Structure 1
Amino acid sequence: MSESAPVYRVLARKYRPQRFTELIGQDAMVQTLGNAIRRDRLAHAFLLTGVRGVGKTSTARLIAKALNCIGPDGTGGPTIDPCGVCEPCVAIAEGRHIDVVEMDAASHTGVDDVREIIEAVRYSAVSARYKVYIVDEVHMLTKNAFNALLKTLEEPPAHVKFLFATTEVNKVPVTVLSRCQRFDLRRIPAESLAAHFQRVVDAEGVTVEEEALALIARAAEGSARDGLSILDQAIAHGAADGGVTADQVRDMLGLSDRGAIRRLFGQLLAGDVPAVLGSVAHQHALGVEPAALLKGLLETVHGVTRAKVGGADDLALSAEEREAFGDWASRMGFATLHRLWQLLLKGHAEVQTAVLPREAAEMALLRVVHASQLPDPQDLARRIRAGELGSAEAPAAPAPAPEEQRPMLAEPVLPRLPQSPQALYDHLIEKKAHRLASCFEGARMIRFQPPEMVIAAGQGIGPGFGKELQDCLNPRIGELGERWTISVQDGIGRPSLLDEAKAHESAARDALLATPVVAAAFAAFPDAELIGYAPEDRGDDPRSMSR
């Protein structure tokens, strides 16, 4: 009877780390564990947290090996570099060691499952140095299960070690966290993943383009397991001779050609609407998801911004991308880049929740085209201040009545009475009567016929104000000049100087908002606000002559 063919093992399992040196991207954790083992300062419980595929379960098994390794000659002790050939190492690697118990908390969530562990920890290890419990996805345990484990977790027997792994550490009770030594496993950098994948394909005897490996590493988002799964799929998707190209990986993942993304980005900046819509239609026909299209544009804006600030080059970028990013960075300001980022980010969120994703993507890109044709707000403000841009004239406040022509008198010349409330206000300012001027500014006139004045009573305006104002304006005894008669009565009166000034300011502000440039800016940024605006002093501003 012929032997059966060996069962194929996927790359993610075949290349699972068997030594700490094979654990990529976690150097800080390995150093800490190594020092703890060498100094015999091992904690009784470890919590390993991080995103999927960064090596949490693999690290737990490596720790179990390190604690129970006896060396090739059977006389070794705990070591950060387990031999991998002794019986404990082999049995743990194959998942059959009786003293290393792995439990999936996603399917064993209750108190009864934890009670089995609590009862078993009382007994010594059968053949290993330590009895090790590896609990994967520990955050799935119920509250009662966690509570049942607390006492044992705090004071376990000396021969027991707990290793917990979770992707959602925020769901683990703080009472458990305080009893564990925590290790946060980092996302694996794309450069390290690409180098790791290169070693894998070399071992597999497969030819894969360097750009294809970079695309897979980027799509893995820091997860070695995800990347190896994608690589496995790419090898199966590749040509019959085993070669894998970048174009094949793009087709497999539904990624847009990065060259097409750069062309679309250039069309957005140029404001070429037909070309933008044509590019979106072409990418849609190729099967590229609208969200992926927006994500590619976001990556482009990020790449241009990094190039502008002089950040380190992304090794996953091609030479053409680096050159294009550098060129755009030299011609675009930070304000424009930040504005593009916000618009595209908002568009990406809309596309992900839209009933019509393609249409939502087109509308988002049209919004970007419209914004790209607007001047930079700071530059716009500078040009307005410099008078380079014209603006609609604000409606002027009603002009004061023309002063009556008084006949020329022979000497001595009598002082002229102020012929308007504004002129009277200015006269008070000249006399340094600022308190009276402030009150008069808010006063409403029932009748103003110099030298007679009737003021409407109101807040701060009483009979005493009329007398005080009259004493301030009238000439002293013996001096020439007409004498004012000022009274305060109940009534409505005409708008005060302060009311007219506010109306003038509001009209000027509305006129500014109505100018084409500002109106276009608010259309592009609906949530924008005009703040800190103050109209320039004008001759028709009731308060401009005195301030």
Structure 2
Amino acid sequence: MSQTQVLARKWRPKIFSELTGQDHVVRALTNALEQKRLHHAYLFTGTRGIGKTTIARILAKALNCEAGITSTPCGICSACTEIDGGRFVDLIEMDAASNTQVEKMRDLLENALYAPTVARYKIYIIDEVHMLSKSAFNAMLKTLEEPPEHVKFILATTDPQKIPVTVLSRCLQFNLKQIPLPLITAHLKHVLEQEQINCDVTSLQLLARSAQGSMRDALSILDQAIAFGGGRVEEARVRDMLGAIDQSYLYDLLDALGQKDGPRMLEVADAMETRSLSFDAALQDLATLLHRVALAQIVPSAIGEDTPERERILALAKTFVPEDIQLFYQIVIHGRSDLSQAPDEYAGFTMTLMRLLAFLPEYMPKMTEPGHDREIKRPSPSVSKTTEASETLPTSGTVEKAEAAKAAKATKATAEADEAENAGNATVGAAPAVSLFGSDWATVVSQLKLGIAKELAQNCEVKNVSANEIEFCVAETHKHLLPYQDRMQAALREHSGKPVRLKFSVGTITGMTPAELDNRKKQEKQLQAVAAIEADPFVRELVEHFDAKLIVSSIKSIQ
């Protein structure tokens, strides 16, 4: 009974036109063969399973085909068929990973001096050539410098950085690319059609994605999927085989994130753990989904009509603003890289979810006292309600709580005094606007729910104020923050309860931005701290009697 050949070998390309995703290499080799501009040494670099050895064998056929040197070997002559069968006497293949010794290389090079037995060229294919020892490379170098006319070297490696420069400079180098996902998907579909096996698009996309740019891996995984599915390739079975994440989980996570529903997100994570789904794969797929949402927001035409779950992707694109999606993508990417350092995968995954929530603008989760069901009220952004919130804290008499209440009352008194002063200096119609947004902009910024737009607000300087419009100026160095002006306007409208309009300009500021004022306060405190240390009797005694020197940079204000 004949044995079935695995797909990776059965569908291995035998001519250049059958290669997928390496058009740049094929074009260069084809032109060289047609023009008879041949090199004595070729080097193919790239990751696993993308066609390095396959191209080497096709090149060997092109050089030794009985029809002559050609870019389209016939495939039927004895040279072509024997090379395809791996039994051609003048084609020597060596795996450098298992033959690193210099003695092996010397034997090979001594044999290279003899003319080929039956072929036009004696061809040496050395795979994973970077694994050779330094002595083996030195032995090869002499032959590469003065190669016999009848010898061609074809080297392949996944790590060209480890090959000596002296060897690289004597080779014609081609860098093979990872094969794009659509090309792998199309090739798998073609293979299954020829094999007369039914499949669906989603299954092929899952298989192609798991191959990570390697066509050989894709065909091997496809073989496994056919066996796992009992001769059929179906989405449910492919997901089970790969441990892939059901896309509905990911959409549920983002839906819950859009609703700021932390408990629901943890429920989804628990369900994934119950099914023993891979959290690493979940973060990878979540990053892919966020990428599609970003495309839907910025380049909607990139989301084709045949895209799976297209409607849900478009719905998510409307739920979040583009800058949020960009931030989420970065959090998920970093979360995946941190997964190996987490206490366990579940902890690492859920920590990433909590990070998504924490950085979501205006996310305010409910908090309860330990051991009690009573909710702790959060301080409101408005000054008048800050005191009310602080008064609802438990009165256990701790110093921290007393200080918090005292500070809140002081803030209220200061704000009321400023408001009264501003009201006395402004016209009747514009008084509310000036008191809120004019002379005390730094205080207002500290009260607004700004989220990611806070940096813009801190670097704005108020130039002019009317009843319903505020003019701000931003320095040239901070103009990249202007895309957040809509968020800042929305926060001000919510804070004031009025349809406030904002107008921005880029120019010179006088240094009265909240960020600059805060920096000045920090500098003043630092100078006071340095002065206090310098005036300390013990420090002065050390300086006077022991020639001690005060390291000013080590002094930090604790206020």
Tell me the TM-score normalized by structure 1: 0.67
Q: 1:147 to 1:513 in 2, by over 3 A?
A: farther
Measured on the aligned residues, the alpha-carbon RMSD in Å equals 3.0
Number of the residue aligned with 2:28: 32
Query: Which residue, 207, 214, 223 being the options, matches 1:223?
Result: 214
**Do the aligned partners of residues 221 and 348 (structure 1) sit closer, same or farther apart at CA in structure 2, a change above 3 Å counting?**
same
TM-score between both structures, scaled by the size of structure 2: 0.66
Find the residue that maps to 1:535 and give its secondary structure.
helix
Where does residue 470 of structure 2 map in the other structure?
none
Question: How big is the shift at 1:357?
Answer: 1.1
Which residues of 2 match residues 369-408 of structure 1 at below 5 A?
369-374=357-362, 393=411
May I ask how many residue pairs the two structures share in their alignment?
397
Identify if the C-alpha distance between structure 1 residues 394 and 60 changes in structure 2 by more than 3 Å, giving closer, same or farther: farther
Pick the aligned partner of 2:354 from 343, 358, 366.
366
| Structure 1: distance between partners of 2:59 and 2:6 | 24
Kept in 1, the 8 Å contact 2:121–2:151? The answer is yes
Which aligned pairs between 1:138-537 and structure 2 lie closer than 5 A? 138-239=129-230, 242-310=231-299, 313=302, 319-374=307-362, 393=411, 517=449, 533-535=515-517
- Would you tell me which structure has more helix in proportion to its own residues? 2
Do the aligned residues in 2 keep the contact of 1:513 with 1:519 (CA within 8 Å)? no
Residue of structure 2 equivalent to 1:59: 55
Cα distance in 1 for residues equivalent to 2:301 and 2:124: 43
Give, in whole Å, the separation in 2 of the partners of 1:292 and 1:513. 41
**Maintained 8 Å contact 1:271/1:373:** no
Please say if residues 69 and 88 of structure 1, whose CA atoms lie closer than 8 Å, have aligned partners that are also in contact: yes
Secondary structure of the residue aligned to 2:204 is: helix
Structure-1 residue corresponding to 2:402: none
Deviation at 1:132, TM superposition (A): 0.3
Q: Displacement, 1:517? A: 4.9
Q: CA deviation at 1:300?
A: 1.4
Aligned position for 1:493: none
Q: Distance in 2 between matches of 1:132 and 1:394?
A: 87
1:107 pairs with one of 91, 98, 101: 98
2:64 aligns with: 68
For residues 146 and 164 of structure 1, the distance between their equivalents in structure 2, rounded to whole angstroms, comes to: 12
1:351 and 1:360 in contact (8 A); partners too:
yes
Distance 1:48 1:350 in 2: 34
Distance apart, 1:16 and its partner CA: 0.9
Match of residue 79 from structure 1:
70
- Are the counterparts in 1 of residues 360 and 451 from structure 2 also a CA contact under 8 Å? no
Letter in 2 for 1:249: V
Q: Which residue of 2 aligns with 1:45?
A: 41
Pair 374,394 (structure 1): closer, same or farther in 2 beyond 3 Å: same
Q: 1:318 to 1:221 in 2, by over 3 A?
A: farther
| Partner-residue secondary structure (3-state), 2:302 | coil
Measure the CA separation in 1 of the matches of 2:189 and 2:330: 36
Compared CA separation, residues 143 and 330, structure 1 to 2 (3 A): same
Distance in 1 between residues matched to 2:451 and 2:321, nearest whole Å: 22
Taking the aligned partners of 1:98 and 1:535, their CA distance within structure 2 comes to 82
Report the CA distance between 1:352 and its aligned residue.
2.7
Give the drift of 1:100.
Answer: 0.4
Q: Match of 1:66, as an amino acid?
A: A
- Distance change in 2, residues 1:217/1:311 (3 Å): farther
Deviates more, 1:286-295 or 1:43-52: 286-295
Higher mean C-alpha displacement, 303-312 vs 43-52: 303-312
Highest RCO, 1 vs 2 (Cα 8 Å, sep ≥ 6): 1
1:133 paired to 2:118:
no
> What per-residue deviation string (whole Å, max 9, x for no partner) do you get for residues 40-77 of structure 1?
1011111001111101111100000000001xxxxx21
CA drift of 1:258 comes to: 1.3
Report if the CA contact (8 A) 1:137-1:167 is conserved: yes
User: Structure 1, residues 449-477: CA drift from partner, whole Å, max 9, x if none?
Assistant: xxxxxxxxxxxxxxxxxxxxxxxxxxxxx
Computing the radius of gyration over CA atoms, which structure comes out larger, 1 or 2?
1
The answer as to 2:111 corresponding to 1:120 is yes
Per-residue Cα deviation, 1:154-189 (whole angstroms, up to 9, x for no partner): 220111100011111111121111111111111111
Q: What is the letter of the counterpart of residue 322 of structure 1?
A: R
Classify 1:46/1:331 alpha carbon distance in 2 versus 1 (closer, same or farther; 3 Å).
same
CA distance in 2, matches of 1:92, 1:374: 67
Are positions 1:20 and 2:16 aligned together? yes
Contact 2:125 2:154 in 1 (8 A): yes
